[in-house]
Chains A and B, each alone.
Chain A
Amino acid sequence: MIKVEKVSKIYETKSGQVVGVDNVSLEVPKGEIYGIVGYSGAGKSSLIRCMNILERPTSGKVMVDGVNLLELSPKKLREARQSIGMIFQGFYLASAKTVFDNIAFALKAAGVAPSQRKKRVEELLELVGLTDKINHYPAQLSGGQKQRVSIARALANNPKVLLCDEATSALDPSTTKSILQLLKKINQELGITIVLITHEMEVVKEICDTCAVMQDGRIIEQGPSYNIFANPQEKLTKQFIDTILNFDLPAKLLEACKGTILQLQFRGNLASDAVVSDMLQKFQVSGNILHGKVEYIKETPLGIFIMELLGETEEVAAAKQYLEERLKQVEVIQHAR
């Protein structure tokens, strides 16, 4: 649905050139939710703004639904933008317009006849759950409600793609969750392809099928979200994963432990298998769980446990080998003393 080819965006500033996006290529299949994570200044905002030419890339190609946006005339580009919705961190609703008028503006831009606007706005408000606020002004709405209005505005002309520029970053955790649920619903029920950028791994965990990590204008790692969480390669990716799967053990606890400390990772269905209890029955070792968590990455479980194994050296080694065979992901945190 979206194909970005070798896109670079270079900004001319007084102090010289600043590279915003550095030769990025990526492809977002139809119907997917694609997340781009990175710290501020990584270029993710520039990249997503290149996808509807709010910023014109310095070089490269941006294809949306088979059309190269960079080759379009201003008029054709405006038409193309009607099928690319976008929402922002700051909502950006017109303060002098009611909820109705804000959404109707998008319809007006697309040349929808006034008589048909009312029905469509009502449908959209139904979808985002704000039918009772139709005549309110943005100043009378909460952050989450404003974002719902801006989602309704972005969806007004039945777009194929929805771009989300830090759409939940200004919202509190529970509002964030409800907006993410709404985005998921839009993706599933309307089949709209979603690209979102965020600095919160929580967002990726919740709804993204695929995830890309950006640093210094480049994509340093990308893949299915689950793989990124289960097996991050780059240091920065690990840092981001750590915000969700953090297993710091108190130093005192580590000192007090005499046995071998292992970190075990259970992926997918393994999380429900009785691997640990099998191991304990097979070998002459005793186990002691120090830390553990099961996270659901877009509904697939990923479990991580840290346990201490006590017993004879050979038995512990054999037990460890057994775990490695079944789990593939076993890491020794501290050897027995």
Chain B
Amino acid sequence: MLDRIIEILPELNTAFFETLLMVGIGLLVALILGLPIGILLYVTDKGLFWESRVAKGIIGIIVNLVRSVPFIILLVFLFPVTDLIVGRITGPLAASVSLSVAAIPFYARIVESAAREIDKGVIEAAIAVGASPWLIIKDIILPETKPGLISGLTITAISLIGYSAMAGTIGGGGIGDLAIRYGYYRYDDTVMITTVIVLIVLVQLIQYLGDFIAKTVNKK
């Protein structure tokens, strides 16, 4: 069995980094686009300074639309877009397109609910000293939600690892791909179990790291 693991090691190594790449890109895009969308969802809510039923409604519908499509369908559905951006529809880079699209609304909702935890009074006090909306977002909302933003990123990362395995089934690469190819198509239990263990360790590590950082930045 050990021989088999050693044999598969180079491939496992590549797959591991492919997974990290896919998840990393997905997280980055979630942070760049999901975070502002989440904040926008929050500040257009009732009783907040950019209260707007229309804006909140439109953004909300788009977010829900993407979230309600099962990931595997989204993956196939986005093939033309992927082809346009990456130039191919297989491989980890191609998979990261649909992973990113799934990650954006996922993280946006987490950001929104994290922001809702802020006592509205704190925002009111900031309005009362004459702060502009932009300053309130930058200096109050973001720092106050920081622990939530970080644990949200942890949750998103772990979900993305799960999604990346699905991407693997249609040639996306990564650990999931490896598990499917050897474990499922070739009944190679050793590879299957090894990949599962690698995934468990990876998820545990991410969770631990996320919790640790979230706890460090929390001043409550």
- Residue from B128, B139, B217, B219 in contact with A54 in the complex, judged by beta carbons closer than 8 Å: B128
Q: Is A54 a contact partner of B127 (Cβ separation < 8 A)?
A: yes
- Residue from B130, B135, B139, B220 in contact with A79 in the complex, judged by beta carbons closer than 8 Å: B130
Stretch at the interface among B57-65, B81-89, B140-148, B173-181: B140-148
Number of A residues contacting the other chain (C-beta, 8 Å)? 31
Q: Is A153 a contact partner of B129 (Cβ separation < 8 A)?
A: yes
Q: Given the known A-B contacts A90-B121, A93-B122, A96-B144, are A139 and B219 also in contact in the complex, defined by CB atoms under 8 Å?
A: yes
**Most B CB within 10 A of own CB, among A95, A96, A105, A154:** A96
- Residue from B129, B135, B140 in contact with A82 in the complex, judged by beta carbons closer than 8 Å: B129
Q: Contacts of B125 on A, CB cut-off 8 Å?
A: 86, 88, 92-93, 150, 153
Find the B residue at minimum CB distance from A156.
B129
Q: Is B128 a contact partner of A81 (Cβ separation < 8 A)?
A: yes
Q: Is B219 a contact partner of A137 (Cβ separation < 8 A)?
A: yes
- CB of A163 to closest CB in B, whole Å: 8
Q: Is A106 a contact partner of B129 (Cβ separation < 8 A)?
A: yes
- A-B CB contact pairs (8 Å), 18 listed: A54-B127, A54-B128, A78-B130, A80-B130, A81-B128, A85-B129, A86-B129, A88-B125, A92-B121, A92-B125, A94-B140, A96-B143, A105-B139, A105-B140, A108-B139, A109-B126, A110-B129, A153-B129
Give the interface SS of chain A, mostly helix, strand, loop or mixed.
mixed
- Residue from B119, B124, B126, B220 in contact with A105 in the complex, judged by beta carbons closer than 8 Å: B126
Q: Is A88 a contact partner of B143 (Cβ separation < 8 A)?
A: no
Q: Is A90 a contact partner of B129 (Cβ separation < 8 A)?
A: no
- For the complex with contacts A139-B219, A153-B125, 14 further pairs of A-B residues with Cβ separation under 8 Å are A54-B127, A54-B128, A78-B130, A78-B131, A92-B122, A95-B122, A95-B220, A97-B219, A105-B126, A105-B140, A106-B131, A108-B131, A138-B219, A157-B129
- Residue from B122, B127, B130, B132 in contact with A94 in the complex, judged by beta carbons closer than 8 Å: B122
Q: Contacts of B121 on A, CB cut-off 8 Å?
A: 88, 90, 92
In the bound complex, CA of A157 to CA of B131 (Å) = 12
- Residue from A93, A110, A150 in contact with B130 in the complex, judged by beta carbons closer than 8 Å: A110
- CB of B88 to closest CB in A, whole Å: 44
- Is A52 interfacial (CB-CB < 8 Å)? yes
- CB of A9 to closest CB in B, whole Å: 15
